[in-house]
Amino acid sequence: MDQRREPILNVPGVVVAVLLVLGLLHAVREYVLSDATDATLVWSLAFVPARYDSTLLTEGVYPGGSGAEIWTFFTYALLHADWTHFGFNAVSLLAFGSPVARRFGVMRFLAFLAVTVAAGALAYLVMHAGERSPMVGISAGISGMMGAAARFAFEPGGSLDMWHRNREDADFVPAAPLLAALRNSRVVTFVGVWFGLNLLFGLGSLSLPGTAGQAVAWEAHVGGFFAGLLLFSAFDPPPRVFPPDDSMFLPGDSTIH
């Protein structure tokens, strides 16, 4: 009997741990902290482009001081607007973070998540210099996972290869070089749909759950996605070697065709 678990049920522990941290932090904010303390926490951890414009600031305007100019490139991803916002991002991270985590392992996955989150903050800073409103949410990191998945999930035998589903090694197929991936019609369609949705976010035609009445930081999504797509190879571990499929052998044959 085949004892392998279906990939959808085999959520990597590191993804579960990230979600637990995000959920626990939001629960503490929601049910434990006073409004004043929560506000201090948000302004200490959220990404605020105005921090980097000395003409807009006086000393002590935002908590955290100069240190927050560094850590908020990452810590804004720990915060969410409400439970709906958290839930939407949790489902998205489960879907797109799990195959990347299985492929990368714990340390590579966490480093990759941090880099794509920071890339999202940088893109937002470039497009919103001087903006005083805080940006929160892990969407840029999730977008990075989408960009990374596009490099291997559509390859033959990959988890999004409709002809070879539920393979045990689906998340470990050799990744396509960037230019080759961008010639794959399925990858192009995926990227096109993704950018189309983010264009609608930018135009205000769509909003994410939990962000009603709030602007969606689509620039951060784009920054994270490009970082994931372009930097994937720097994090991708050496390809695994799997024994050949038995169906590739015929009785009496001595070579693989």
The mean pLDDT of 167-187, rounded to a whole number, is 85
pLDDT value of position 209: 52
How is residue 216 annotated by DSSP?
-
- The DSSP line for 146-203 is HHHHTTTTTSTTSTT-TTSTT-TTGGGSPPPPHHHHTT-HHHHHHHHHHHHHHHHHHH
Which pLDDT does position 176 carry in this prediction? 86
Highest mean pLDDT among 112-116, 153-157, 172-176: 112-116
Give the list of residues 6+ apart from residue 103 with CB closer than 8 angstroms, or none.
152, 171, 172, 236, 237
The single-letter DSSP state of residue 47 is B
Interval 95-131: pLDDT, tens: 999 999 999 999 999 999 999 999 999 999 999 988 8
Q: Which of 32, 13, 10 is nearest to 21 (CA)?
A: 13
CA–CA separation, 207 and 218 (whole Å): 10
Spatial distance between the Cα atoms of 229 and 232, rounded to a whole number of angstroms: 6
Q: Which of 28, 29, 49 is nearest to 215 (CA)?
A: 49
pLDDT in tens, 37-90: 999 999 999 999 988 887 765 555 778 878 899 999 999 999 999 999 999 999
Residue 151: pLDDT above 90?
Answer: yes
- pTM, 2 dp: 0.83
- Residue 242 confidence (pLDDT) above 80: no
- Tell me the sheet residues that pair with 47: 135
Token couple for 1: 């009997």
Q: What pLDDT shows up at residue 157?
A: 77
Give me the domains of the chain, ranges plus CATH numbers: 7-237 (1.20.1540.10)
What are the angstrom distances between the C-alpha of 184 and each of 25, 68, 167, 198? 40, 41, 21, 21
At residue 243, the pLDDT reads: 54
How much of the chain exceeds pLDDT 90, in percent? 54
253, pLDDT greater than 60: no
Range from 48-62, 82-96, 208-222, 238-252 carrying the lowest mean pLDDT: 238-252
Phi, psi at 47, each rounded to 5°? -90, 120
pLDDT for residue 56: 63
Phi-psi region of 166 (alpha: psi -120 to 50; beta: other; left: phi over 0): left
Q: What is the pLDDT of residue 247?
A: 42
Rounded mean pLDDT, 179-190? 89
pLDDT of residue 208: 54
- Mean pLDDT taken over the chain: 83
CA distance readout (Å), 245 to 158, 168, 171, 175, 239: 15, 12, 17, 19, 17
Nearest in space to 117 (alpha carbons), one of 101, 92, 135, 134: 135
